[in-house]
Structure 1
Amino acid sequence: MTLRYLIEKEFKQLARNSFLPRLILLFPCMMMLIIPWAATLEIEDLRIVIIDNDHSPSSERLVHRIEASPYFKLTGLPDTYRDGLEAIEKDRADMLLEIPRGFEKEQVNGRPASALVAVNAVNGTKGGLGSSYLNQILAPAGNTSIRYLFNPHLEYKNYMVPALMTMLLVLLCGFLPALNVVGEKEAGTIEQINVTPVSRFTFILSKLLPYWLIGFIVLNLCMLLAWLVYGLTPSGNIFCIYIATIVFTFVVSGLGLVISNYSATMQQAMFVMWFCMLIFILMSGLFTPISSMPQWAQCITYANPLRYFMEIMRMVYLKGSSLTDILPQLGTLAIFATVLYLWAIVSYKKQQ
């Protein structure tokens, strides 16, 4: 009964807060509706100039294919290579293609026709992807057949949306409860609780349970938005997501309790959480694949719980993985949860 009244108190305090309920509802919606469109590695409308020295039907067809591609925007047809480079230097183009004389003749004779591509590589990612897109157009048709598994239309948003749900759970189920506990400590009410018959376990659980419930509600809201806005639904069993969410919630709430135990003020806790959040995001594979990181950075990612839950979300959403497939990640998250809660218990006792 004591736990029930404490949880009721938490919800009443949350309802009296004019800002936090709006944040809990609006923040997930803004993340799901804006970030997948803004934080993308897909490159479109690359400005390209083409120097056609052949002026043949084959070269004209190539120009039309590039112009029709959504990845390129034809901004000029200069006469010389020098003029094309000048367009890049003056930021009127991102890349140029020079089609040499005899381009069609080489193709007719069955020999591979060559062409020169120059790319502005100040932005290495943009330059690399742009040249890759152009090489696909330049490659002779019919030699290669490619099947894109799990994401046939190469939508980067499908890669981002499941990972963003992970970030929301970290904030709602990990950091907000921790700030709530630190707020009690800063206000001095936690000392009053410690001298009452309410056990420390009951008090902490009353702080965590409301945000766990809110986290699950927000997760379902995000999955609904993913379906309505992006047409993205889990290819696997949705209960695999719920099981993984329960385990991951224990992990992040345990981390939040550890931070709250070592923090005396809200400001101190927020700085520590910001530091953890920054490292988690950069080392989780949210934006870039972990396999593309240096070897030393890949080793660090093994200590990042977000890595494993993001893998689970993408596996279930895109690959249709079953519970058996995600067991290694679930086992690792369970170890994280055990270690963090033991740490939270020991550090809480030391602080008292």
Structure 2
Amino acid sequence: MTLRYLIEKEFRQIRRHSFLPRLLFIFPCMIMLVLPWAATLEIKDLRIAVIDNDRSPSSERLVHRIEASPYFKLTELPATYPKGIEAIEKGRADIVMEIPRGFEKEQIQGRTASILIAANSVDGTKGALGSSYLQQILMPQQGTASIRYRFNPHLDYKMFMVPALMTMILVMICGFLPALNIVSEKETGTIEQMNVSPVSRITFTLGKLLPYWMIGFLVLNLCIGLAALVYHITPQGNLCTIYLAALVFILVVSGLGLVISNYSSTMQQAMFVMWFCMLIFILMSGLFTPIGSMPEWAQTLTYLNPLRYFMEIMRMVYLKGSSFADIISQLLTLSGFATTLYCWAIYSYKKQA
């Protein structure tokens, strides 16, 4: 009965808060509706300037192929190479392509014509991807291999991002908000009253965590619904697999939040530690950069990051249709994190008599 009253007390406090109830639902909606469009590595509408020195039907067809591509936008047709470079320097073009004289003649005679590509590499990723896209258009069409893309046939980057963003939302709602709630009670002194009451540590802690766990699952369903409604992204695997993995992951982030709250005396201190942890976790989770592309020392550190394992689970279930048997290693690792963090939280929590 005591636990029930504590849970009711937490829900009343959340409801009475002027901003928190709106934050709990506006924040996930903003993450799901804005970040998949902004946090993308897809490069489109690259401005290209083409210098056509050949002026032949073949060169015109090539220019039309480039114009038809969704990755490029023809902005200029400079007469000379220096004028094309000037367009890059003045920000009117991202790439300059120069078609040499005799381009059509070389093709008729069966030889490969050389085409010059100059890319603005201030943004290295944009320059490299733009040049790569352009080279694929320039490749001869005869004898090309048939390519099939597994799990994401349309190469939609949002398919990769949306399941992972749900991880960030659960960390904030089920990990950091309960920790901030506990620290705020430290600052106001109300936790001292709980410490001298007959309420046990476990009951008090569950009373703080369970409301946010319930809200976390509610928000997770909201995110799954938004992914299906807005992006037409639905899990290929069983939804129960996601719920099971989310339950284990919530235990992990809640344990982390308890550890942070035990060592924090003020809200400012707790928020600083949480921001530091969140920044490291996000950068080392594979959210934006594939883990395989990181240096070896960074790849080793990612094994200590619980976000990595839950993101892998979400992407596996959403894209590959993985079952419980496929994610068992990630679940066992997350269970190990949860056990370690809760043992640490129990050890570091000192209830004053």
| TM-score in same-fold range (> 0.5) | yes
1:13-36 deviations in Å (ceiling 9; x for gaps):
111011000000111111111111
Distance between the aligned counterparts of 1:165 and 1:102, measured in 2? 55
Structure 2 residue aligned with 1:90:
90
Give the TM-score taking structure 1 as reference length: 0.98
* Alignment size in residue pairs: 352
How far the C-alpha of 1:350 sits from its partner, in A, is 8.2
Matched, 1:345 2:346: yes
Q: How far apart in 2 are the matches of 1:141 and 1:322?
A: 40
Structure 2 matches for 1:162-201, cutoff 5 A? 162-201=163-202
Q: Which moved more, 1:342-351 or 1:266-275?
A: 342-351
Q: Distance in 2 between matches of 1:89 and 1:188?
A: 61
After TM superposition, the structure 1 = structure 2 runs for residues 156-167 of structure 1, keeping only pairs within 5 Å, are: 156-167=157-168
* Runs of 5+ unmatched residues, structure 2: none
User: What letter is aligned with 1:33?
Assistant: L
- Separation in structure 2 between the aligned mates of residue 336 and residue 53 of structure 1, nearest angstrom: 63
* DSSP-derived class of the 2:325 partner: coil
Tell me, yes or no, if the aligned pair for 2:196 and 2:352 is still in contact at 8 Å: no
Contact 1:185 1:264 in 2 (8 A): yes
Q: Secondary structure at the match of 1:242?
A: helix
Q: State the distance in 2 between where 1:351 and 1:230 align.
A: 51
Distance in 2 between residues matched to 1:351 and 1:190, nearest whole Å: 10
Q: Does the residue aligned with 1:325 lie in a helix, a strand or coil?
A: helix
Task: Give, in whole Å, the separation in 1 of the partners of 2:140 and 2:222.
Answer: 46
Quote the residue 2:265 is aligned against. Answer: 264
1:81–1:98 CA contact under 8 A, matched in 2: yes
Give, as a single letter, the amino acid of the residue that structure 2 aligns with 1:123: D
Structure 2 counterpart SS, 1:74:
strand
Q: Per the alignment, in what secondary structure is the counterpart of residue 73 of structure 2?
A: strand
Per the TM alignment, residue 125 of structure 1 is displaced from its structure 2 partner at its CA by: 0.9
Of 216-225 and 37-46, the range deviating more from structure 2: 37-46
Query: Contact 1:10–1:207 (CA<8 Å) still a contact in 2?
Result: yes
TM-score (norm 2): 0.98
For 1:351 and 1:103, locate their aligned partners in 2 and report how far apart those are by CA, in whole Å. 84
Q: Is 1:310 the counterpart of 2:316 in the alignment?
A: no
Q: Structure 1 residue 351: deviation in Å? A: 7.9
8 Å CA contact 1:261–1:351 kept in 2: the answer is no
Partner SS, residue 136 of structure 1 = helix
Q: Which secondary structure state, in structure 1, belongs to the residue aligned with residue 79 of structure 2?
A: coil
**Separation in 2, partners of 1:269, 1:316:** 34
Q: 1:287 to 1:323 in 2, by over 3 A?
A: same
**What secondary structure, in the 3-state scheme, does the structure 1 residue paired with 2:324 have?**
coil
Amino acid at match of 2:45: D
Q: Tell me the alpha carbon deviations over residues 236-277 of structure 1, each in whole angstroms, 9 at most, x when there is no partner.
A: 111111110000000000000000000011111011000001
Residue number in structure 1 paired with 2:229: 228
Cross-structure match for 1:16: 16
> Separation in 2 of the partners of 1:136 and 1:319?
28
| 1:112 Cα deviation after fit | 2.4
SS of residue matched to 1:302: helix
RMSD of Structure 2 on Structure 1 (CA): 1.2
Q: Percent identity?
A: 76
Long gaps (5+) in structure 1? none
